[in-house]
Amino acid sequence: MHVGRGSAVQDHVALAEIELCGELIIAATSAPEERLSEDRIDEVLRVEAARRGADRDRRRGRQEITP
């Protein structure tokens, strides 16, 4: 299949992952310690915010779909 010029295919999940990787790289290069702690990684990746959002969704009656 040939994709012509101007025909951009976007994978939103992949773009989000690339953005998060970039944020981790920035955090790692600006950290005074040699490695980021697990807590700092969770902070950069906004893990707690995602958990709070999932908990809120469950309270509202939405079910998570797991593979």
Residues 31, 24 contacting (CB under 8 angstroms): no
Q: Which two tokens stand for residue 35?
A: 């490695």
Q: Could you read off the pLDDT of 4-32 as tens digits, one per residue?
A: 555 566 788 889 899 999 999 999 999 88
pLDDT in the model for residue 61: 74
pLDDT in the model for residue 28: 92
- Cα distance between residue 65 and residue 5, in whole Å: 37
Name which residue leads in pLDDT, 61 or 5. Answer: 61
Residue 57 main-chain phi, psi, to 5 deg:
-65, -40
Residue 3: pLDDT above 60?
Answer: no
pTM, two decimal places: 0.55
Q: Could you read off the pLDDT of 29-60 as tens digits, one per residue?
A: 998 888 889 888 889 888 877 676 666 667 67
